[in-house]
C-alpha cells in the first residue's frame, strides 16, 4: 500500500517535472469587457465603445492547437457580437459570431463565452465586432504562434510587432450609419486613418504624438499588419526600407520583397523588416487606395520607425505614397502572392468542383419613398440584396424553425449582361434571406464578378469558416472557356478575404468540410449594410465530427 503510494508520488513528481514538455496545447482564458472609454489620443474626445478600455483592443495570443475561452461582457447600451475573423471554427460554428447569422446579439448587460480551438492554423488574424458598424473601434489582433517546437518556415525574427490600421470618425459611427440608412445616400467617410490607434499629423484630425516603431540596427522584426478599417483599402510603406512578405491571412507564402504592402479591410499580412539603414527616424505611411469614382477618406496616416540611438528631434526620412488610384501597385502586390506549398504546408487546392458558382457583385438603386431622392443605394450578389433575419439563421436551422430563410440562392445571375460594360440595366435589386446549400465535404468554385452598375469598384470579399484558394483573376468579364485555362492550381494564395479588382473578376475554390451556416460578404462595411452578403448552409456529414453540435448553454436568444 505504502509503496504503491510512493510510486504514485514519484510518478506525479515525474509528470510535474516533464509537464512543460508534455503540454502541447493550452486553454487560454480572456475577459472582454465592452465599455465606453473617452479617447484621448485622437482628435475628438468622445465616449467610444472599446474592449477593456483599449483602442485597438487587446491581442489574443495563442499557439496552434490551443483553445481560447473569451468571456464577453456587454456593459454598453448596444447589441453586439464578436467575430474571430479567419478562424476556421472546426466544429464550433456557434462561436463564429456574425449577428443574426450564427447567433443572436449579446444584449446590454448580457455575457457570452466564445470557446474555440485554433486547428491547422498559425499566423495573424483579427477579431472584431460583427454588429452594425461597431467594429470601427471594437477590434484587435489574433496572434497564433506555431506549435511549441515548430519553427517558422523563415529565419526566426528577433522581435515581433503588431501594426493595426483602422479608420476613425469624429462622430458616433452608429449615427453615421443611421443617417445613411435613413437618407438612402452614402455614409460620411471617416475623418482619419489610424496606425495602432494614432492618426498622426492629419489635417482636421491631428492627434498628439503618433505611433513609434522602435528598432535596433541589425535586428529583424516580424510585422503583423492588420487592416481593421471599415471601408478603405490601404497601402502601407516604411521610408527607406523594404519588407519581405511571408504570410497573409494566417497562411504562409513564398517570401517576396516589396516596398509597398496592399491590404484590404479584413486582411492581414506578416512581413519581415530588417533594420539595415542608418540610425534615424523614418516615416511610416498608411494611405488609401481607390480607383473608382466614389467618395472616400483620402487622408494618409503617419507613424514613425525610430532606430535606437537616434538623437532628439531628428529630421525624418520621408517616403512617397502611391497615388490613390495606383491600380498597378495593387496588381503587382497581388500577383506576387503564392502559397508556400511546401511538404509541411501543402496547398490542397480542390481539383474537381461539385458546385460551380458565378456571383455578380453590384451596387444598385431601389425606390425608397422616405429617402432623400426617393431612392436608396443597395448592393447585391446575383441581384439579391440580403435581408437580415430577426433570429439567427443557425438557430433557425438547428431547431428546424420554418420561414426564416429559403435555400434558393441563385448559382448564377438572373440575367446575363455585359457585367463590366456601361450598362444601366439591372440597377434595381430583389431582396431575400436566401441561402445556398452545400453537401458536407463538397468542393466549391465561385467566380466573383465585379460589375460597372453605378460604379465599378474593388470589393474585398470575406468568407467565414473556410480559407479559399485564389485560383484566378482578370479584368473585364470572366470568360468560362478561356479563363479557367489560366488558373493556378499548384500554388495559388490561400486566404479568407480577397479584393476583387475594379471592373474585373476573381475565382476562388474551397472544400466545405465544416457543417454550419457561413457568411460570405463584402468586407467594406458600407456595402455589407447595403445588402452585399449571403450565406452558405453546409450540411452534416456522416461521422460524429461531421455533425453540427448542440449550441452552448449560454447562447443569446432573440
Ligand atoms: C467624455 O467626453 C465627453 C465629451 O467630450 C464629456 O462630456 C464627458 O464628461 C467625458 N467623460 C469622462 C468620464 O471623461
Ligand atoms: C469549451 O468547449 C469544450 C469542448 O466542447 C468543453 O469541454 C469546455 O467545457 C468548454 N469550456 C467552457 C468554459 O465553456
Ligand atoms: C441608430 O438607430 C438605431 C435603430 O434605429 C437606434 O436604436 C440607435 O439609437 C441609433 N443610434 C444613433 C447613435 O443614432
Ligand atoms: C455627415 O456629414 C455632414 C456634412 O459634413 C454633416 O452635416 C453631418 O452632421 C454628418 N453626419 C454625422 C452623423 O456625423
Ligand atoms: C527594395 O527592393 C527593390 C526591388 O526589389 C530594390 O530595387 C531596392 O533597392 C530595395 N531597397 C532597399 C532599401 O533595400
Ligand atoms: C481629399 O478629399 C477632399 C474632400 O473630398 C478634397 O477637397 C481634397 O482635395 C482631396 N485631397 C486629395 C489629396 O485628393
Ligand atoms: C462590354 O462593354 C464594354 C465597355 O462598354 C465593351 O468594351 C465591350 O465590348 C462589351 N462587351 C460585350 C461582350 O458586349
Ligand atoms: C455606353 O456609354 C456611351 C457613352 O455614354 C453610350 O453612347 C453607350 O450607348 C453606352 N452603352 C451601353 C451598352 O449602355
Ligand atoms: C424587400 O422587397 C420588398 C418588395 O420590393 C419591399 O417591400 C421590402 O421593403 C424590401 N425589404 C427590405 C428589407 O429592403
Ligand atoms: C473529403 O473528400 C476528399 C476527396 O474526395 C477525401 O479525400 C476526404 O477523405 C473527404 N473527407 C471527409 C472528412 O470525408
Ligand atoms: C473531421 O475530421 C476530419 C478528419 O480528421 C477532418 O478532415 C475534418 O476537417 C473534421 N471536421 C470537423 C468539422 O471537425
Ligand atoms: C437587440 O437585440 C434584440 C434581439 O435580437 C432585439 O430584439 C432588439 O431590438 C435589439 N436592439 C437594438 C437596439 O437593435
Pocket test for ligand 7, best of 418, 503, 505 (most atoms within 8 A of CB): 418
Domain covering 355-546 assigned CATH 3.30.750.24 in the classification: no
| Residue nearest ligand 1's atom 7 by CA | 46
Residue nearest to atom 11 of ligand 12 (CA): 79
Nearest CA to ligand 7 atom 9: 421
CATH architecture of 159-336: Sandwich (2.60)
Distance, in Å, from the CA atom of 348 to the CA atom of 341, rounded to the nearest integer, reads 9
Query: Domain ranges in the chain?
Result: 11-145, 159-336, 355-546
| Per-residue confidence (pLDDT) for residue 205, from 0 to 100 | 78
Residue nearest to atom 12 of ligand 10 (CA): 441
Atom of ligand 1 nearest to the CA of 45: 5
State which H helix or E strand residue 222 sits in.
Answer: strand 220-227
Per-residue model confidence as pLDDT tens digits over 297-320: 999 999 999 999 999 999 999 989
CA distances from 482 to 427, 486, 487 (A): 28, 8, 10
Q: By the 8 A CB rule, do 500 and 361 touch? A: yes
Residue 332 CA to residue 341 CA, distance in Å, equals 20
The CATH architecture to which 11-145 belongs is Sandwich (2.60)
Determine the distance separating the centroid of ligand 12 and the alpha carbon of 79, expressed in angstroms: 6
- Residues of the chain short of pLDDT 50, as ranges, are 1-4, 6, 8, 12-19, 21
Q: Is the CB of 68 under 6 A from ligand 4?
A: no
pTM, whole model, 2 decimals? 0.94
Which residues have C-beta within 8 Å of that of residue 450, sequence separation ≥ 6? 360, 361, 419, 420, 456, 457, 458, 459, 500, 501, 502, 503, 504, 505
Does 390 sit in the ligand 7 pocket, CB within 6 Å? no
Q: Which of 239, 240, 242, 320 is the best mutation target for the ligand 5 pocket, counting ligand atoms within 8 Å of the beta carbon and taking the most?
A: 242
pLDDT value for 45: 80
Residue burial 25-37, b: 16+ Cβ < 10 Å; e: rest: beeeebebebbeb
Q: 355-546: same fold as 159-336?
A: yes
Instruction: Choose which residue among 92, 121, 513 to substitute to test ligand 11 binding: the one with the highest number of ligand atoms within 8 A of its C-beta.
Output: 513
| Residue 355 grid cell | 458546385
Rounded distance, CA 37 to CA 255, Å?
A: 40
For the chain, give the number of residues: 558
Instruction: Please report the pLDDT score of residue 2 as a whole number.
Output: 44
Counting residues of the chain whose pLDDT is more than 90, the rounded percentage is: 89
Residue keyed to cell 454598453: 76
* Centre of ligand 10 from the C-alpha of residue 513, in Å: 8
* Residue of 48, 134, 178 to mutate, ligand 3, most atoms within 8 A of C-beta: 178
Amino acid at each position: 500500500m505504502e509503496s504503491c503510494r510512493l510510486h504514485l508520488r514519484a510518478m506525479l513528481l515525474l509528470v510535474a517535472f516533464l509537464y512543460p514538455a508534455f503540454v502541447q496545447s493550452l486553454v487560454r482564458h480572456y475577459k472582454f469587457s465592452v465599455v465606453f472609454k473617452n479617447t484621448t489620443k485622437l482628435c475628438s474626445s468622445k465616449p467610444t465603445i472599446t474592449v477593456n478600455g483599449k483602442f485597438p483592443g487587446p491581442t489574443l495570443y495563442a499557439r496552434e492547437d490551443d483553445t481560447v475561452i473569451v468571456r464577453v461582457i456587454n456593459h454598453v447600451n448596444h447589441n453586439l457580437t464578436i467575430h474571430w475573423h479567419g478562424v476556421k471554427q472546426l466544429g464550433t460554428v456557434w462561436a463564429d459570431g456574425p449577428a443574426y447569422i450564427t447567433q443572436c446579439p449579446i444584449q446590454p448587460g448580457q455575457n457570452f463565452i466564445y470557446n474555440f480551438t485554433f486547428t491547422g492554423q498559425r499566423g495573424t488574424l483579427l477579431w472584431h465586432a460583427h454588429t452594425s458598424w461597431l467594429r470601427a473601434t471594437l477590434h484587435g489582433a489574433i496572434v497564433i504562434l506555431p506549435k511549441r517546437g515548430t519553427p517558422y518556415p523563415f529565419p526566426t525574427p528577433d522581435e515581433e510587432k503588431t501594426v493595426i490600421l483602422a479608420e476613425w470618425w469624429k462622430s458616433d459611427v452608429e449615427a453615421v450609419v443611421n443617417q445613411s440608412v435613413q437618407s438612402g445616400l452614402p455614409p460620411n467617410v471617416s475623418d482619419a486613418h489610424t496606425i495602432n490607434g494614432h492618426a498622426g499629423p492629419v489635417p482636421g484630425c491631428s492627434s498628439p504624438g503618433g505611433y513609434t516603431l522602435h528598432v535596433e540596427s541589425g535586428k529583424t522584426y516580424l510585422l503583423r499588419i492588420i487592416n481593421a478599417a471599415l471601408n478603405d483599402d490601404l497601402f502601407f510603406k516604411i521610408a527607406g526600407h523594404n519588407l519581405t512578405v511571408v504570410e497573409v491571412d494566417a497562411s504562409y507564402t513564398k517570401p517576396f520583397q516589396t516596398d509597398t504592402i496592399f491590404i484590404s479591410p479584413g486582411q492581414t499580412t506578416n512581413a519581415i523588416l530588417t533594420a539595415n539603414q542608418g540610425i534615424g527616424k523614418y516615416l511610416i505611411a498608411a494611405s488609401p487606395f481607390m480607383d473608382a469614382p466614389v467618395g472616400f477618406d483620402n487622408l494618409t496616416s503617419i507613424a514613425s520607425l525610430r532606430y535606437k540611438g537616434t538623437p532628439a528631434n531628428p529630421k525624418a526620412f520621408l517616403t512617397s505614397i502611391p497615388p490613390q488610384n495606383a491600380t498597378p501597385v495593387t496588381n503587382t502586390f497581388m500577383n506576387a502572392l503564392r502559397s508556400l506549398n511546401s511538404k509541411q504546408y501543402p496547398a490542397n487546392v480542390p481539383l474537381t468542383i461539385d458546385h460551380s458558382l458565378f456571383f455578380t457583385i453590384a451596387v444598385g438603386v431601389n425606390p425608397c419613398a422616405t429617402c432623400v431622392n426617393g431612392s436608396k443605394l443597395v448592393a447585391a450578389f446575383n441581384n439579391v440584396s440580403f435581408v437580415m433575419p430577426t433570429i439567427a439563421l443557425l438557430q433557425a436551422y438547428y431547431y428546424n424553425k420554418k420561414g426564416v430563410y429559403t435555400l434558393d440562392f441563385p448559382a448564377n445571375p438572373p440575367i446575363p449582361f455585359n457585367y463590366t460594360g456601361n450598362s444601366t440595366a439591372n440597377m434595381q435589386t430583389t431582396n431575400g434571406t436566401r441561402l445556398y446549400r452545400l453537401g458536407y465535404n463538397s468542393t466549391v468554385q465561385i467566380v466573383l464578378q465585379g460589375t460597372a452598375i453605378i460604379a465599378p469598384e474593388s470589393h474585398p470579399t470575406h468568407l467565414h469558416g473556410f480559407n479559399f484558394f485564389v485560383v484566378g483573376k482578370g479584368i473585364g468579364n470572366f470568360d468560362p472557356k478561356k479563363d479557367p485555362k489560366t488558373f493556378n492550381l499548384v500554388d495559388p494564395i490561400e486566404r479568407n478575404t480577397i479584393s476583387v479588382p475594379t471592373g474585373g473578376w476573381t475565382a476562388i475554390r474551397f472544400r466545405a468540410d465544416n457543417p454550419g451556416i457561413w457568411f460570405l460578404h463584402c468586407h467594406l462595411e458600407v456595402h455589407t449594410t447595403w445588402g452585399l452578403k449571403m450565406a452558405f448552409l453546409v450540411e452534416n456529414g456522416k461521422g460524429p465530427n461531421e455533425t453540427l453540435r448542440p449550441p452552448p448553454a449560454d447562447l443569446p436568444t432573440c
